[in-house]
C-alpha cells in the first residue's frame, strides 16, 4: 500500500449503526493505546460513499482498516464487503467484521468474501486489541519510517 504520510496514526473506518457498540469500540481502541483516528458511519450506503469519496465524504481519508458491522440499515455489511472486495482501489484494505453471530463467518466464507478477522459482539477488549495491533503491524510493514 502507498502511504501519503510517514508515521501518521492509523485511519480506521468504523461502520456501526449502534452508537453504544460504536462507543465501546472506540473506547477499546483508546484503552489499547492504538494510535489511530476513527471515522464513524452508521449505515452501508454511508460506508460506500465514504470509501468512494462521494457527496459529503469527498475529502474523507482512505482507511487503513475497516471495522464492519454486518447488520446495517440501507445496505447490509455483506453488500459493503462485496463492493469493497470488487473495487481495485479498496480490495487491499483490511476488514474486520464485528458480528453478534458465529454463523456470519460461514456465510461470508460460502460467498467467497475474505476478511482479515471476526470479532464477536460484545467485543472482548483483549481479543480486540490483539487483532487491531496485529493489523497495525501489517499496516506498518508497508510504511517506511524515518531513522
Say which CATH number the domain at 121 has.
3.40.50.2300
What average pLDDT does this structure show over 66-71? 88
Has residue 146 been placed in a domain? no
- Residue 70: its pLDDT value, please? 85
- pLDDT score of 133: 66
Its domain, for residue 33, covers: 16-140
Say if 3 falls within a structural domain: no
Specify the DSSP class assigned to residue 40. E
Would 130 be classed as within a structural domain?
Answer: yes
| Nearest residue to 71 via CA among 110, 17, 128 | 17
Average pLDDT over every residue of 71-92: 90
Mean pLDDT, rounded, of the chain? 77
Q: What is the pLDDT, as a whole number, of residue 6? A: 52
| Rounded Cα gap, residues 40 and 64, in angstroms | 14
115 found inside a domain: yes
Quick: pLDDT tens for 32-44.
777 788 999 999 9
Asked if 3 and 132 count as a contact pair (C-beta separation under 8 A), the reply is no
Query: pLDDT tens digits for 118-144?
Result: 676 666 667 767 766 666 655 544 443
pLDDT at 144: 38
Residues 6+ apart with CB under 8 A from 18: 69
How far is the C-alpha of 3 from the C-alpha of 144, rounded, in Å? 9
**147 within some domain:** no
Q: Which has the higher per-residue pLDDT, 136 or 5?
A: 136
The band of 52, judged by pLDDT with boundaries at 50, 70 and 90, is: very high
Q: Can you give the pLDDT at residue 74? A: 92
Q: What is the pLDDT of residue 55?
A: 92
The answer for residues whose C-beta is within 8 angstroms of residue 134's C-beta and 6 or more apart is none
* Residue 31 maps to a domain: yes
CA 93/CA 91 separation, integer angstroms: 6
Kindly state whether residue 36 falls inside one of the protein's structural domains.
yes
C-alpha cell at 119: 470479532
Per DSSP, the three-state class of 61 is coil
Q: Specify if 1 maps to a domain.
A: no
Cell numbers standing for residue 44: 452501508
Q: Of residues 13 and 18, which shows the higher confidence score?
A: 13
Number of domains into which the chain is organized: 1
Q: How far apart are CA 21 and CA 53, in angstroms?
A: 25
Amino acid at each position: 500500500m502507498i502511504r501519503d504520510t510517514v508515521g501518521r496514526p492509523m485511519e480506521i473506518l468504523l461502520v456501526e449503526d449502534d452508537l453504544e457498540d460504536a462507543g465501546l469500540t472506540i473506547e477499546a481502541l483508546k484503552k489499547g493505546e492504538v494510535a489511530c483516528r476513527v471515522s464513524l458511519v452508521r449505515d452501508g450506503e454511508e460506508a460506500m460513499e465514504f470509501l468512494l469519496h462521494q457527496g459529503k465524504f469527498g475529502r474523507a481519508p482512505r482507511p487503513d482498516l475497516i471495522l464492519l458491522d454486518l447488520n446495517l440499515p440501507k445496505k447490509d455489511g455483506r453488500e459493503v464487503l462485496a463492493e469493497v472486495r470488487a473495487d481495485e482501489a479498496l480490495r487491499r484494505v483490511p476488514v474486520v467484521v464485528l458480528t453478534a453471530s458465529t454463523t456470519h463467518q460461514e456465510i461470508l466464507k460460502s460467498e467467497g468474501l475474505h476478511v482479515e478477522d471476526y470479532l464477536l459482539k460484545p467485543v472482548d477488549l483483549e481479543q480486540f486489541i490483539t487483532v487491531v495491533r496485529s493489523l497495525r503491524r501489517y499496516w506498518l510493514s508497508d510504511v517506511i519510517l524515518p531513522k
